[in-house]
Chains A and B, each alone.
Chain A
Amino acid sequence: MHNDLRFSGRVAAPLAALLLLGCGDLDIGDLNDPGLDDFQNNPTPAGIAAAATGLLVESRLNYTAANGYVSHLGILGRESYNFDTADPRYITELLEGDLVAGNNVFGGNFWLLEYRNIRNANILLGAVDKVAGLTDAAKEAVRGFTKTIAALEYLVVINTHDTNGAVIQKSPDPHVVEPIATKEQVFAWIKQLLDEAKTHLLAGGDKFPFPLGSGFEGFDKPATFLKANRALKARVDVYTGDNAGALTDLSESFITADPMMPNLNLGIYHAFGTGAGDQTNLLNSPNLYAHPSIKAGAEMTANGQLDARVAAKLTMAMERTVNGLTSDQAFTMYSSPTSKVPIIRNEELILLRAEANWALGNLTQAAADLNFIREKSGGLAPRADLATASKMDVEDELLKQRFYSLLFEGGHRWLDMRRHGRLEMLPRDKPEHKIHALFPIPQDEVNVRNPMP
């Protein structure tokens, strides 16, 4: 009996100890991914760097996918076709039918991924405020970069949704359903972001605390990145009719029009890689074809050659006919899986300056820039008559030069034709084809605002 009691004491004590030891922590974090909470509450410089890089990783995703910004807008603007027979919607929805708001890869596109990256940007801005171990200048550099990329995402959304408006994601609480702002409000917000970014970049010291990749060569320091920021601002200025502002911003950008060294491709790009976890440029898909109207409308050079831009950017391909649409020309710009895709480059800046001057009535300056492009980019003879031509004539020339200079690199033709009220002048392959003016607000966004009974 006594033995038993002693024994029970001996057993009970270790058992109790075991019990306490076994009381593992109930706060188990996410074992598979870095938790958002953790990043928001305890950001580290390495996390900030990865999040900044992440903005570029996400941004290029929808810009260059087979159903992304360049490709879809290329189809709408009659620059390109996608002859992917596995998904007929590239033709049935984008050319023949209505844009369907219910799926997020066609009619409901240019929303989900862009807003996700805007959320990425907002998360990063919140984390930068808390991070320890970064200098104030480095933080400002990150802020300037982040707001610039966010502005770029908003620009994709509002370019595609135009007068349907878009959401300005202001609340840090993802449960808050923000109102749909007008086109004007969204553009004002984009400008605000770009201008705030400028202020941050000016205080951003001499380097970014993260690598920007090969797409930003020459623009990978706060001071040089600012020039790209101003370039984007100039584009927004022109889109919103602030032409004087555009000239100012262009003057702060990397614009150059040196006849000896036109440097038209100077700019910032989405870059790619073939390593595991990296992304390749999907615009080299064999399903992507060029619209026949490109070659058909191209001018000849003085010596009877095709516009140098068309000659360089188009190549003959195996002729294909899908749904009654035929093409035998493909693009050459993205021939490799790592070909870069321009975000904005000098050639556009010169054309933006031409457009701003044209809008301000400075037709001489506009004509000079347009002729510069004709010569340096197209290999065409300058148009001597342009300086004295009618405003309408210059507009025609402007749009034409923009078409060939910025071919299939960001939906420029579709956007330009809309901005200039000329959508109906886009070539229809079949009379019954539709020309879409803008994308609908995605169905889920509508549903959330008008819950079904």
Chain B
Amino acid sequence: MFRVATIALGVLLLPAAAVAQEAQPPAPPPPAEPAPPPPAEAAPAQERTITGAVKETGGDFVQGAVILVRGTDASAVTEADGKFSVRAPAGPVTLEVMGPAHAPKEVQVGADQAAITVEISPVVTEVVLTERAPVIAKQNLANGASVVRSEDLNRVSAQTIDSAIQGKLAGANVQQNSGAPGGGLQVRLRGVSTIIGQTEPLFIVDGVLVSNVAIPNGISAVTLSSSGSNSSSTQDDQVNRIADLNTNDIESIEVLKGASASALYGSKAANGVVIITTKRGTSGGVRANITQRFGTYHISNKLGLRVFNSVDDAVMAFGEKARDYYQQGRSFDHEEELSGRTPFANETTINLTGGNRDITYYVSLDQRNDPGIMIGTGYQKQSGRLAIDTNLGSRLRLGFTGNIIRSLAQRGVNNNDNAGVAAYMTLPFTPSFLDLQQRPDGTFPNNPFIGSTNNPLQTAALANNDESVWRAIASANASLVLWNANQNLLMALANFGVDTFEQQNRLFFPPDLHFEPTDGFAGTAIDTNGDNRNLNLSTGLLHRYTGTGFSTASSLGVQLEQRGLDVLYVVSRGARRPNVDSGTNVTLNQNRQLVRDRGLYLQEEALLLEQRLSLLAALRAEQSSTSGDPHKVLFFPKGQISFALPGLPRAVELLRLRLAYGESGNQPRYGQKFTALSVTGNLQGNSGQRLRETGFLGNPDIRPERQREIDAGIDVISFDGRGVLELSVYQKSISDLLLQRTVASSTGFQFEFINGGVLRNRGVEVMLQVSPIRQGSMEWLTRTMFSLNRSKIVDLPVPAFETGGFGTGLGLFKIEKGKSATQIVGAQGKDAMGKDIVIKMGDGEPDFRMTFFQALTWGPFGVSVLADWQKGSDVINLTKYLFDLGQNTPDFETAGKDRLMRQTSDASVYIEDAGYLKIREIELHVDLPAGWVNQLGPMKSARLSLAGRNLFTFTSYTGMDPEVSNFGNQPIARNIDVAPYPPSRSFWFSLTAGF
């Protein structure tokens, strides 16, 4: 009865071809018609029904497990309570049981046995490939993918989804760019994959290609951050938009880290693919869960300011002016005044599910409010989502998901600036004896010690930097069973997805701010409007054959994708009001992008030798408008093989060897193929058209970077699932890198984009999960992940070049043949010619990363800890350099003076080891006894929990937070610390009630 429902429940096929699952397993042979069997087949003489239940070893009943009766085409899927019922021939039979995230299991059922309970072992990190690949049995996948499930995501409240996965995936280096509320994190999978290409993994939510663009808010018009020696426009502390998703809606996050897994995503997959599956309805009566969380944030690290013991010292550091302000024994903690708030945060989540055999629904509402520790900052998000799945007849299943999100991030004025307006750009030059606090009359004193006279407390209180986003993500999918007989299943699948958002940044710097005017006009209003629209459509066919000890799955499909972005910046100088029309000097800048891709894919998968051997071959053919020749067809092949060894000792349930190879790409950035003419200049009102001043020569032959990855590994499941080991080694080699080449300027151009060179990453990932105790209601689970990656520029067709940073005197990144792609170099000493000697001084790449997860549950009580350890990785700490320049570091007399002096001939002084151990999450919970709960009215269950995020950081790094990137998400040049928003820790108390 319920079998039908499960088939397509999980069909989210972005790409159309996959019978996918979220919590649900791959579709089994679908609904056996109650009608008589086809005449060709002799009806079994006798038939019986086996009923039973599937549960996790020592755990709950498993919903969505597939039961196959060997030698027949009979099958069933377990319902929410783990129960199933399946037809079987008379006599003893073998049942094959496959859970959604479990090791497969076979059980014998005697001739006269009518009921059975099967226990299966969870394989937590197992691959659940949900898209493009019709997976017969996910445990046969041959590359090390990783999965994070809902329960691991939501233990501790997280503002954004990327912060929720920190430390939870092997081979995924997830780091925040600053402590500002509302996101801005970079996900790097298996090291760096490009030098100047796009850096973001591809994010797919229920088959929708969602945008993760980061649109700079335009604050650089005030901070003038791009007018200095590094003119990057990405210093606006911008948020990459994946932050909008509601973590509570997510059922699982699966990460395809390299081309060997992600080849079917073609030229958008070189940075990996993050497949997010959201929660969907289950049939049954209406059930509801309400979670209410209360929390608070605290600044977790401060730099400290120098305290002066005598007026002479103060004068020495700050000049004669200091005499007017210095008072013996008086000092202010400006950091505390600015970021010492311990605001009250809250989050409410409500979800509701129910339905019957024909229609199920899932509704969720979420709101959160996280005021920031810094005055004037904070984050708010509201999300509403509806998912409906329905059967129209026995063959057609439709699914619909709609999600509306609104977020507001107020991120303050931070990061590099050249106007003396950002908080931590001002504090280095602001003595601790100066009183910055608001006066009783409401005004703020100015700051005579910095040219801009900026008082950061005034700026925080009066300036606005609001980023509001309205976003709608919707998908519709359909699956139609075309043929289902003789162990064959043929389905047609279709999917349509849309992701559209409007990001609106309203920035206002009132004329009364002490630093206004920085540009001759008092007051600045900035209005940034970013419109993004992603559409994707796919259809395909899927065929499965399930035989005895042999099964195949084939799929074929087409995909169409379109991504559009239109950003308009309005900068109004001399503005007296937040309205941009109140200014006297208004400039406009518009940037539009539109990309279309077409893909065709073909995949064949076979399970042989009693399902021990799995083979997979796939090919994607693709055209993209980003290529110089958009009609050129690019091919991305993939192949996988895995083999589960037979004849294992009793204690070992699975020992599998696997090998995978795949290719993927990284598209040129929009516009790299065009030689642009500019029409923005004019002569006395007559439009003048000429070559752009950027000097870029478009390349009509530009094509995607090409990644080739080989991945090999071993998976072991032993002691009834108590020990799980997954080990992968990989090499990914990226050729045809997108690079910038200098051309002779006598051609009229300066640079062109080319394809060339080779970048290689090699690495190891290990996941070890052990349950040392599993007794009665007590279970202790430990999970340790290790990952190590090394990159090397194998070939570089252009001269070695520097990137990121602010010159060799302070350290920057250098792309050089034969060296690590993320090496940091700097000047140290001079050669005989008096030129700086530039040597390697560090590397952005960690030596390795390890995470430790411990969870202990005992009846209603549970406690868990997640620790995240990064060994090595260096950061260019320019914030410290600024404080030393201002003679304002607490240790200036004893060490800072010396640092400054050494820096003139040695850039390594401010390049620091940024290894850390962070206690990311701690959670304690108790499930209230049912007896108590029932007395509280309609509640069925209730859980109380106490939790904390980023509670402790152990590091030798002397900046505020070793997780930092002044330039936002970067292919190479992260790890540059310039006046970031300070880090915070959060504490949460939650109550979850089930109805």
Taking the closest CB of chain B, its distance from the CB of A34, in whole angstroms, is: 5
Which of A137-145, A295-303, A420-428, A444-452 binds B? A444-452
Chain A residues with Cβ under 8 A from B590's Cβ?
A: 32
Chain B residues with Cβ under 8 A from A3's Cβ?
A: 393
Chain A residues with Cβ under 8 A from B396's Cβ?
A: 4, 7-8, 11
On whether the beta carbons of A33 and B692 are closer than 8 Å, the reply is yes
Q: Is B492 part of the contact surface with A, judged by Cβ < 8 Å?
A: yes
Residues B635-676 near A (CB distance < 8 A): 671, 674-676
On whether the beta carbons of A11 and B746 are closer than 8 Å, the reply is no
Chain A contact residue count (CB 8 A cutoff): 76
On whether the beta carbons of A116 and B749 are closer than 8 Å, the reply is yes
Q: CA of A448 to CA of B747 in the docked complex: distance in angstroms?
A: 11
Chain B residues with Cβ under 8 A from A31's Cβ?
A: 592-594
Q: CA of A111 to CA of B593 in the docked complex: distance in angstroms?
A: 32
Q: Is A55 part of the contact surface with B, judged by Cβ < 8 Å?
A: yes
Residue of A nearest to B590 (CB): A32
Chain A residues with Cβ under 8 A from B894's Cβ?
A: none
Among candidates B394, B535, B683, residue contacting A57 with C-beta atoms closer than 8 Å: B683
On whether the beta carbons of B679 and A50 are closer than 8 Å, the reply is yes
On whether the beta carbons of A445 and B562 are closer than 8 Å, the reply is no
On whether the beta carbons of B743 and A118 are closer than 8 Å, the reply is no
Task: Using A174-B749, A445-B745 as known contacts, say yes or no to A120 and B393 having CB atoms under 8 A apart.
Answer: no
Q: Is A28 part of the contact surface with B, judged by Cβ < 8 Å?
A: yes
Taking the closest CB of chain A, its distance from the CB of B482, in whole angstroms, is: 7
Residues A16-56 near B (CB distance < 8 A): 16, 18-19, 22-37, 39, 47, 49-51, 53-56
Interface Cβ pair total, 8 Å cutoff: 211
Taking the closest CB of chain A, its distance from the CB of B547, in whole angstroms, is: 25
Residues B576-632 near A (CB distance < 8 A): 587, 590-596, 598, 623-625, 630-631
Chain B residues with Cβ under 8 A from A53's Cβ?
A: 682-683, 686-689
Q: Is A189 part of the contact surface with B, judged by Cβ < 8 Å?
A: no
Taking the closest CB of chain B, its distance from the CB of A3, in whole angstroms, is: 6
Taking the closest CB of chain B, its distance from the CB of A373, in whole angstroms, is: 31
Residue among B392, B482, B687 with most chain A CB within 10 A = B687
Among candidates A1, A51, A210, A211, residue contacting B690 with C-beta atoms closer than 8 Å: A51
Q: CA of A211 to CA of B685 in the docked complex: distance in angstroms?
A: 10
Among candidates B539, B685, B695, B743, residue contacting A273 with C-beta atoms closer than 8 Å: B685
On whether the beta carbons of B482 and A23 are closer than 8 Å, the reply is no
Chain B residues with Cβ under 8 A from A16's Cβ?
A: 539
On whether the beta carbons of A23 and B560 are closer than 8 Å, the reply is yes
On whether the beta carbons of A445 and B744 are closer than 8 Å, the reply is yes
Chain A residues with Cβ under 8 A from B674's Cβ?
A: 29-30, 33, 35-37
Taking the closest CB of chain B, its distance from the CB of A187, in whole angstroms, is: 17
Task: Using A12-B492, A175-B747 as known contacts, say yes or no to A18 and B537 having CB atoms under 8 A apart.
Answer: yes
Taking the closest CB of chain B, its distance from the CB of A453, in whole angstroms, is: 10
Among candidates A12, A28, A32, A120, residue contacting B748 with C-beta atoms closer than 8 Å: A120
On whether the beta carbons of B689 and A112 are closer than 8 Å, the reply is no
Taking the closest CB of chain A, its distance from the CB of B379, in whole angstroms, is: 32
Q: Is A258 part of the contact surface with B, judged by Cβ < 8 Å?
A: no
Q: Is A326 part of the contact surface with B, judged by Cβ < 8 Å?
A: no
Which of A70-78, A246-254, A275-283 binds B? A275-283
Name the prevailing secondary structure of the B interface residues: strand
Chain A residues with Cβ under 8 A from B678's Cβ?
A: 33
Q: CA of A116 to CA of B368 in the docked complex: distance in angstroms?
A: 54
Chain B residues with Cβ under 8 A from A118's Cβ?
A: 748
Chain A residues with Cβ under 8 A from B750's Cβ?
A: 112, 444
Task: Using A53-B689, A120-B748, A177-B747 as known contacts, say yes or no to A34 and B799 having CB atoms under 8 A apart.
Answer: no
Q: Is B697 part of the contact surface with A, judged by Cβ < 8 Å?
A: yes
Task: Using A27-B630, A115-B746 as known contacts, say yes or no to A213 and B686 having CB atoms under 8 A apart.
Answer: yes
Q: Is B930 part of the contact surface with A, judged by Cβ < 8 Å?
A: no
Among candidates B562, B592, B675, B743, residue contacting A448 with C-beta atoms closer than 8 Å: B743
Q: Is B443 part of the contact surface with A, judged by Cβ < 8 Å?
A: no
Q: Is B448 part of the contact surface with A, judged by Cβ < 8 Å?
A: no
Chain B residues with Cβ under 8 A from A116's Cβ?
A: 690-691, 695, 745, 748-749
Chain A residues with Cβ under 8 A from B687's Cβ?
A: 50, 53
Taking the closest CB of chain A, its distance from the CB of B566, in whole angstroms, is: 8
Q: Is A167 part of the contact surface with B, judged by Cβ < 8 Å?
A: yes
Chain B residues with Cβ under 8 A from A28's Cβ?
A: 594-596, 625, 630
Taking the closest CB of chain A, its distance from the CB of B627, in whole angstroms, is: 9
Residue of B nearest to A174 (CB): B747
Chain B residues with Cβ under 8 A from A32's Cβ?
A: 590-592, 671, 676
Among candidates A1, A174, A273, A452, residue contacting B684 with C-beta atoms closer than 8 Å: A273
Q: Is A117 part of the contact surface with B, judged by Cβ < 8 Å?
A: yes
On whether the beta carbons of B690 and A57 are closer than 8 Å, the reply is yes
Q: CA of A27 to CA of B587 in the docked complex: distance in angstroms?
A: 31
Q: CA of A55 to CA of B675 in the docked complex: distance in angstroms?
A: 17
On whether the beta carbons of A112 and B695 are closer than 8 Å, the reply is yes
Q: CA of A176 to CA of B744 in the docked complex: distance in angstroms?
A: 9
Contact pattern, A 148-160, Cβ under 8 Å of B = 1, otherwise 0 = 0000000000000
Q: Is B698 part of the contact surface with A, judged by Cβ < 8 Å?
A: yes
Among candidates A25, A120, A177, A276, residue contacting B587 with C-beta atoms closer than 8 Å: A276
Q: Is B950 part of the contact surface with A, judged by Cβ < 8 Å?
A: no
Taking the closest CB of chain B, its distance from the CB of A184, in whole angstroms, is: 18
Q: Is B742 part of the contact surface with A, judged by Cβ < 8 Å?
A: yes
On whether the beta carbons of B677 and A36 are closer than 8 Å, the reply is yes
Q: Is A256 part of the contact surface with B, judged by Cβ < 8 Å?
A: no
On whether the beta carbons of A35 and B675 are closer than 8 Å, the reply is yes
Residue of A nearest to B595 (CB): A28
Q: Is A58 part of the contact surface with B, judged by Cβ < 8 Å?
A: yes
Contact pattern, B 391-422, Cβ under 8 Å of A = 1, otherwise 0 = 01111100000000000000000000000000
Q: CA of A32 to CA of B598 in the docked complex: distance in angstroms?
A: 23
Residues A209-231 near B (CB distance < 8 A): 210-211, 213-214
Q: CA of A119 to CA of B677 in the docked complex: distance in angstroms?
A: 12
Task: Using A57-B690, A445-B745 as known contacts, say yes or no to A39 and B681 having CB atoms under 8 A apart.
Answer: no
Q: Is B45 part of the contact surface with A, judged by Cβ < 8 Å?
A: no
Chain B residues with Cβ under 8 A from A272's Cβ?
A: 684
Q: Is B462 part of the contact surface with A, judged by Cβ < 8 Å?
A: no
On whether the beta carbons of B690 and A55 are closer than 8 Å, the reply is yes
Taking the closest CB of chain B, its distance from the CB of A23, in whole angstroms, is: 6
Residue of B nearest to A273 (CB): B684
Chain B residues with Cβ under 8 A from A452's Cβ?
A: 799
Chain A residues with Cβ under 8 A from B392's Cβ?
A: 7
Residue of A nearest to B800 (CB): A452
Taking the closest CB of chain A, its distance from the CB of B13, in whole angstroms, is: 13
Among candidates A23, A27, A50, A449, residue contacting B625 with C-beta atoms closer than 8 Å: A27
Q: Is B558 part of the contact surface with A, judged by Cβ < 8 Å?
A: yes
Chain A residues with Cβ under 8 A from B698's Cβ?
A: 36
Chain B residues with Cβ under 8 A from A55's Cβ?
A: 688, 690
Contact pattern, A 313-357, Cβ under 8 Å of B = 1, otherwise 0 = 000000000000000000000000000000000000000000000
Q: Is B33 part of the contact surface with A, judged by Cβ < 8 Å?
A: yes
Residue among A37, A112, A116, A279 with most chain B CB within 10 A = A116
Q: CA of A442 to CA of B742 in the docked complex: distance in angstroms?
A: 12
Q: CA of A115 to CA of B591 in the docked complex: distance in angstroms?
A: 27
Write the residues of chain B forming the contact surface with A, with a CB cutoff of 8 angstroms: 33, 35, 392-396, 478, 480, 482, 492, 494, 496, 535, 537, 539, 558, 560, 562, 587, 590-596, 598, 623-625, 630-631, 671, 674-692, 695, 697-698, 700, 742-750, 799
Task: Report the 4 A-B pairs with minimum CB-CB distance, sorted nearest first.
Answer: A119-B748, A57-B688, A54-B690, A167-B746
17 contacting pairs across A/B (C-beta < 8 A): A7-B395, A8-B480, A19-B560, A26-B625, A31-B592, A33-B678, A36-B675, A36-B677, A37-B700, A58-B681, A123-B691, A167-B744, A273-B684, A273-B685, A277-B681, A278-B683, A444-B742
Q: A122-B748, A273-B684, A277-B680 are in contact. List 8 more A-B contacts (CB 8 A).
A: A16-B539, A26-B596, A29-B674, A30-B676, A36-B676, A53-B688, A275-B684, A279-B681
Write the residues of chain A forming the contact surface with B, with a CB cutoff of 8 angstroms: 1, 3-4, 7-8, 11-12, 15-16, 18-19, 22-37, 39, 47, 49-51, 53-58, 104, 111-112, 115-120, 122-123, 166-167, 169, 174-178, 210-211, 213-214, 271-273, 275-279, 442, 444-445, 447-449, 452
